[in-house]
Structure 1
């Protein structure tokens, strides 16, 4: 059942015969005794977090998030002018919802604009109030508000295509980019993240490991800021990550939908076997294919 919509009157408490589990959309425990399992991986939900979850943890071997390798990307890349971007200058990008932007993180982003001459911060146009507030906060921190560029909503294929104009995707904390990060990686845009403590703060780290770019997973905001600055100042280093991402897209587990399907079906069979043996739900890991 949908976990991101109005749920009044739904029958979540009605048990499935083979067991119930949570997967995607809601990155937290339900606290419900009628949900047996949560689908995760070793990065987003380590076993030491089990005491804080009512569900038992199922670890998939690569990444908990399924990705569609048939998502179309528009052939035409818009011009920088069409997107409101300057013709020159480094483009830091974060197409997360604006409610994920915290003051400490925004301070880091503004600091990067101060240190990287001519750079801009490309954000998602979520609502007028958020845009106005972010521009005001930029001014208060000594940055010309025109260096914050806001992207309008587009059809998905066109939205994905405009990622090609960005240089580096800056992730948010404590609530990471989830499908937003996999969108960027699918197009070939490197994502820089900081690994947090909770499930929602570890998703981009899982995605980056599954696409073969673990070096872009930092352990602190200081490290995050330092690496963002290094990548902006060293184009050859950034290009090396872009090249690896382009190569890995067709071979890495993150975008291997068939591999994910097989792992998930193994998880289903294990859940059902446990149920048939009359045993209570238990943590388990799915063997890698």
Structure 2
């Protein structure tokens, strides 16, 4: 299984099937090796039920270890009445990172009269402006990078945090041991990890009705807390900037530009085959991808295997946010990945004026781009299946008037629809936090809040 994970990270797709077959044995407890849940999110054909089973197995040993480290450690909590509600955001990404870019305007918009915002950072200070901006946005910024899990949990508890919001989940660098010690009465899974973390971790998962329809609740250990439009925030204070020339970024002067700046591990063989078919049928088109030292060569080889000139793949460097938004304006259409969708890269593309075509599945990560598109008024770009995904992308690429109309609508919608309305988004998020606290004060178990419309 480790081999399969490494192969997917660099788009090396030969001989994947035997590794994929082993997933069933692992989730049935027939293999001593535990698969990190984050890796399973990008495996085609894996259900939301299987993703939950993987998370349960992954956390079982960690729950035992966290309890055994100090069996006498049981935190007591007051109900916080008579003071501001204290929100503790836990992450190592309070720096130049996608999560920080998504969240920063929410932190800045939190209502000071009702909430006290604390950030608990276990990541290095990269010395860049986003770190300083995050520190300024919070009432308290606490560096816990030198603390072990118990010391960090003790500090969070001593600060009287009412809701601890885990922004990492099972992503790289996460410290789920802090969450397992339960240093706050309410713990929320939000934004950083698109899936369930299993029983005993978080009380609530922030979501929306497209991401997790009510019928999918059994696939999640957390109670579902529904945002009214999309769970995904994106600010509007960073303008796309001045668009560079095509040759400056390695693009030809003419021709349709498909793009996808998702990480290579999100690209699946089936989706890449569709991309190659589009390149073959749309004359002079190119596919603009994120550069990766190992994946780029493999993708060129795959293109040749599909009968496409490898020179029609253009690879762009990983740039700072402002420069990336500027160059994105040169793309005509973003092609989403499946089953692990674009997240930040999707909302960035829309902010830069680039439409997206996506194809959702049944899992949380496979529905994020669809959630984002509905929140910007472009739900018709959500295809029902792979065939519809291809037809939709092909029609847009070969009908200039349709593309122009889509871009005009997107330009008009950006500041009128919910996706980029951070003020309204933050008010809705705060409403969920208040409901969580009310349930806790009334000694009620976590339950669905902000229920989706029927």
Fold equivalence (TM over 0.5): yes
Task: Give a deviation string over 1:104-134, Cα, whole Å, max 9, x none.
Answer: 1011000001100110000011x22100000
- Report the alpha carbon displacement of residue 79 of structure 1 after superposing the two structures with TM: 1.0
Q: Counterpart in 1 of 2:281?
A: 115
- Report the alpha carbon displacement of residue 194 of structure 1 after superposing the two structures with TM: 0.6
**Aligned counterpart for 1:90 among listed residues 239, 253, 256:** 256
- Report the alpha carbon displacement of residue 145 of structure 1 after superposing the two structures with TM: 0.6
Number of equivalent positions: 286
Task: Give a deviation string over 1:195-240, Cα, whole Å, max 9, x none.
Answer: 1110000000000000000010111000000010000110101111
Structure 1 residues 132 and 226: alpha-carbon distance in aligned structure 2, compared to 1, 3 A threshold? same
Structure 1 residues 33 and 135: alpha-carbon distance in aligned structure 2, compared to 1, 3 A threshold? same
**Aligned counterpart for 2:189 among listed residues 22, 25, 36:** 22
Q: Which runs of 5+ in 2 are unaligned?
A: 1-89, 92-167
- Report the alpha carbon displacement of residue 18 of structure 1 after superposing the two structures with TM: 4.3
Q: Distance in 2 between matches of 1:287 and 1:10?
A: 32
Q: Distance in 2 between matches of 1:213 and 1:50?
A: 26
Structure 1 residues 9 and 107: alpha-carbon distance in aligned structure 2, compared to 1, 3 A threshold? closer
Conserved 8 A contact 1:18-1:271: no
| TM-score normalised to structure 2 length | 0.61
Q: Counterpart in 2 of 1:73?
A: 240
> What is the DSSP-based 3-state SS (H/G/I as helix, E as strand, rest coil) of the residue aligned with 1:218?
coil
Q: Distance in 1 between matches of 2:392 and 2:449?
A: 35
| TM-score normalised to structure 1 length | 0.95
> What is the DSSP-based 3-state SS (H/G/I as helix, E as strand, rest coil) of the residue aligned with 2:324?
helix
- Report the alpha carbon displacement of residue 252 of structure 1 after superposing the two structures with TM: 0.6
Q: Give the stretch that moved more between structures: 161-170 or 64-73.
A: 64-73
> What is the DSSP-based 3-state SS (H/G/I as helix, E as strand, rest coil) of the residue aligned with 1:20?
strand
Q: Counterpart in 1 of 2:384?
A: 219
> What is the DSSP-based 3-state SS (H/G/I as helix, E as strand, rest coil) of the residue aligned with 2:329?
helix
Q: Distance in 2 between matches of 1:7 and 1:239?
A: 42
Task: Give a deviation string over 1:245-269, Cα, whole Å, max 9, x none.
Answer: 0001111100000001100010011
Higher relative contact order (CA 8 A, sep 6+): 1
Conserved 8 A contact 1:267-1:286: no
Q: Counterpart in 2 of 1:143?
A: 308
Q: Which runs of 5+ in 1 are unaligned?
A: none
Structure 1 residues 9 and 66: alpha-carbon distance in aligned structure 2, compared to 1, 3 A threshold? closer
CA radius of gyration, larger in: 2
- Report the alpha carbon displacement of residue 142 of structure 1 after superposing the two structures with TM: 1.0
Task: Give a deviation string over 1:19-50, Cα, whole Å, max 9, x none.
Answer: 11111110111103241100000001111111
